[in-house]
Amino acid sequence: MTVYDSQLLNDHHRLDAFDCGKAELNTWLSSSAQHCNRNNTARTFVWTEPDDLNVLAYYSLAGHIIEKGALPPKLGRGSPGQSPAVLLARLALDKTLHGQRLGGVLLADSMGQIAQAVQHVAARFLLVDAIDEEAATFYERYGFKRIPGDNRLYRKMSDILASLDH
């Protein structure tokens, strides 16, 4: 199995062949990812083969705030009105990588980037808005919990940092 290193998306990466099987994620990568990088609204990291600029996987991260009332009561208790968070805005693997158990590796890669960032900028939660039930189930396998009545899932940063230390 090839080991992929995440790289910050740049203008040299080729996006046109990327197909994860979900049109919304394909379109966002090709039409919005570079714009978001330039405007500092999200950072997109990509995987490529060595010496190849075709994108095989990507994830996007953004700073976020979650309102106390949007959290389950147990998490919101004792919190300020808002808590800092990181939003895992997108995560997708090209269909050529499906079935190789690389989704969890890509998720771990994103968490590694976040762990580095929270050494400098505080965040209490990692949030993800699952695109569909299949995606929600995927995130639950990796310790995310659903926020009732929503497609939003969360993990506490303290739990992520502890799991990365092992």
Work out the number of other CB atoms within 10 angstroms of the CB of residue 18.
22
Is residue 139 annotated as part of the catalytic site, yes or no? yes
Give the sign of the dihedral formed by CA 104, CA 98, CA 150, CA 66.
positive
Residue in 4, 58, 139, 154 annotated catalytic: 139
Centroid of chain to Cα 66: 16
Q: How many CA atoms are closer than 13 Å to the CA of 112, on its beta-carbon side?
A: 11
Instruction: Show which residues are catalytic.
Output: 139
